[in-house]
């Protein structure tokens, strides 16, 4: 895994809020390295996880590297002292919403405006820049339905960070693996710089 990411405080990240949506693919564990590096560079990284993502990596992992609570449920109990729905608060406060990995299921659900998990729900409430880093089996990535959903997102202005090619968890070799973390970092930096 490519984890040689810059970690010193940087102008591009200092004071920025990044929403990091994590969906249920094996590449979910790689997102913790992104969250850690961006936190060290001065960003507030707020992680949102689908239930399926929590099967691959726990919310505690992200909470530990970001020092922020992790949203994994749209029905969580609110803290005393007032009520502001998590998805509205997170959506309003973020400079960028990145979903990495973005599974085929997530891409389809987001293309059609589903709002039954914290990642999709918050996506609907976020008005700023959005980026998706897809990751899945090579046959799934090539499927016309997945490509149609990706096209929908591109037409809506979503930055799609193309998956890489190589050995996949299922044993196949081809396109579909999560882009190298350095490439995701490079594109996120460019989006934050231009925002």
What pLDDT, on a 0 to 100 scale, did the predictor assign at position 4? Answer: 73
What pLDDT, on a 0 to 100 scale, did the predictor assign at position 90? Answer: 59
Domain with 66 in it: 17-73+84-194
Note the pLDDT tens digit of each residue in 22-31. 999 999 999 9
Strand (E) or helix (H) holding 44: strand 44-49
What pLDDT, on a 0 to 100 scale, did the predictor assign at position 94? Answer: 87
Residues in the chain with pLDDT values less than 50: 1-2, 77, 80-81
The active-site residue out of 14, 124, 170, 190 is 170
Tell me whether residue 4 is in a domain.
Answer: no
What pLDDT, on a 0 to 100 scale, did the predictor assign at position 84? Answer: 55
Tell me whether residue 157 is in a domain.
Answer: yes
Tell me whether residue 11 is in a domain.
Answer: no
Answer yes or no: 120 catalytic.
Answer: no
Tell me whether residue 9 is in a domain.
Answer: no
The CB density around residue 47, as the number of other CB atoms within 10 Å, is 27
What pLDDT, on a 0 to 100 scale, did the predictor assign at position 168? Answer: 62
Tell me whether residue 12 is in a domain.
Answer: no
CATH no. for residue 117? 3.40.50.1950
Structurally, the chain folds into a number of domains equal to 1
Tell me whether residue 120 is in a domain.
Answer: yes
What pLDDT, on a 0 to 100 scale, did the predictor assign at position 78? Answer: 52
What pLDDT, on a 0 to 100 scale, did the predictor assign at position 176? Answer: 73
Tell me whether residue 7 is in a domain.
Answer: no
State the pTM of this model: 0.90
Tell me whether residue 126 is in a domain.
Answer: yes
What are the angstrom distances between the C-alpha of 15 and each of 87, 147, 193? 20, 35, 13
């Amino acid at each position: 895994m490519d984890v040689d990411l810059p970690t010193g405080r940087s102008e591009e990240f200092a004071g920025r809020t990044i929403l990091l949506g994590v969906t249920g693919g094996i590449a979910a564990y790689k997102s913790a390295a992104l969250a850690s590096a961006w936190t060290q560079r001065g960003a507030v990284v707020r992680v949102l996880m689908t239930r399926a993502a929590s099967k691959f990596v726990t919310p505690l992992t992200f909470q530990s590297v970001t020092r922020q609570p992790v949203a994994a449920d749209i029905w969580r109990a609110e803290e005393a002292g007032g009520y502001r729905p998590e998805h509205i608060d997170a959506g309003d406060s973020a400079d960028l919403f990145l979903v990495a990995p973005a599974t085929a299921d997530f891409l389809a659900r987001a293309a059609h405006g589903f709002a039954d998990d914290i990642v999709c729900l918050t996506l609907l409430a976020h008005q700023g820049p959005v980026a998706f880093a897809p990751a899945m089996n090579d046959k799934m990535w090539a499927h016309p339905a997945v490509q149609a959903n990706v096209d929908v997102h591109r037409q809506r202005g979503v930055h799609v960070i193309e998956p890489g090619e190589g050995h996949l968890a299922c044993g196949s070799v081809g396109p579909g693996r999560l882009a190298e973390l350095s490439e995701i970092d490079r594109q996120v930096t460019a989006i934050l710089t231009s925002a």
